């Protein structure tokens, strides 16, 4: 192996090939690095650099709809891996695929931040609706006695509805 540097065109070609390999569903980064190192006869560190450059190329190319599609495609592949490994009786592979699906679900708030923000807002509302419990003990008295507030009673309208009225519509 000679110590000559590749040209800029060679580097661009290698980065594009790395991007194509990374774009495949279920592409594993370490396998892409090994394949590039073997194919182009470069060091593993140089192959990692090609992969880093390829990731930079791929990042801005996806819009939210395409990212959701890719996420669903990977989810379907992982589900298929789980089912096939259970059919074959390979429990280790099934557990591994299930763990991969769990980690895949953890990425939702990066993929769809608006939906994650909505879930966080709902969780914060639920957390704020209960009085603080600094002792982390289960209270023995009623919450209404602890907070010295009246229990919630829905407001009733002062207007009486007439069943025979045209304005009254039953749903």
According to the model, what pLDDT value does residue 88 have?
A: 92
13, 19, 25, 28 alpha-carbon torsion, rounded to 10°: 100
According to the model, what pLDDT value does residue 140 have?
A: 72
Backbone CA torsion sign across 66, 67, 70, 72:
negative
**Separation CA 32–CA 38 (nearest Å):** 10
Per-residue exposure over 70-98, b if at least 16 CB sit within 10 Å of its own CB, e if not? ebeebeebbeebbeebeeeeeeeebeebb
According to the model, what pLDDT value does residue 1 have?
A: 47
Other C-beta atoms closer than 10 Å to the C-beta of 12 total: 13
pTM of the shown model:
0.40
| pLDDT tens for the chain, residues 1 to 171 | 455 666 888 889 999 998 888 877 667 888 889 999 999 999 999 999 998 898 888 776 666 677 777 778 888 888 999 999 999 999 999 999 989 888 888 877 666 666 665 666 666 666 666 666 667 776 676 666 666 655 556 566 555 656 666 555 555
Q: Quick one: tokens of 106?
A: 């953890």
- Taking CA atoms, 106 is separated from 38, 39, 96, 101, in Å, by 33, 34, 16, 9
According to the model, what pLDDT value does residue 75 have?
A: 87
């Amino acid at each position: 192996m000679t110590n000559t540097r590749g040209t800029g065109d060679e580097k661009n070609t290698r980065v594009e090939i790395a991007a194509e390999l990374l774009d495949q569903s279920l592409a594993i980064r370490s396998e892409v690095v090994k394949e590039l190192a073997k194919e182009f006869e470069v060091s593993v560190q140089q192959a990692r650099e090609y992969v880093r450059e390829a990731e930079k190329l791929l990042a801005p190319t996806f819009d939210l709809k395409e990212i959701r599609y890719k996420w669903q495609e990977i989810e379907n592949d992982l589900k298929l891996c789980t089912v096939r490994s259970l059919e074959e009786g390979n429990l280790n592979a099934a557990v591994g695929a299930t763990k991969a699906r769990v980690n895949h679900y953890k990425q939702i708030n990066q993929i769809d931040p608006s939906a994650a923000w909505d879930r966080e807002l709902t969780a914060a509302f639920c957390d704020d609706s209960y009085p603080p419990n600094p002792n982390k003990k289960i209270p023995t008295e009623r919450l209404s006695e602890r907070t010295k507030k009246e229990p919630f009673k829905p407001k009733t309208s002062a207007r009486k509805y007439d069943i025979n009225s045209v304005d009254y519509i039953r749903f």
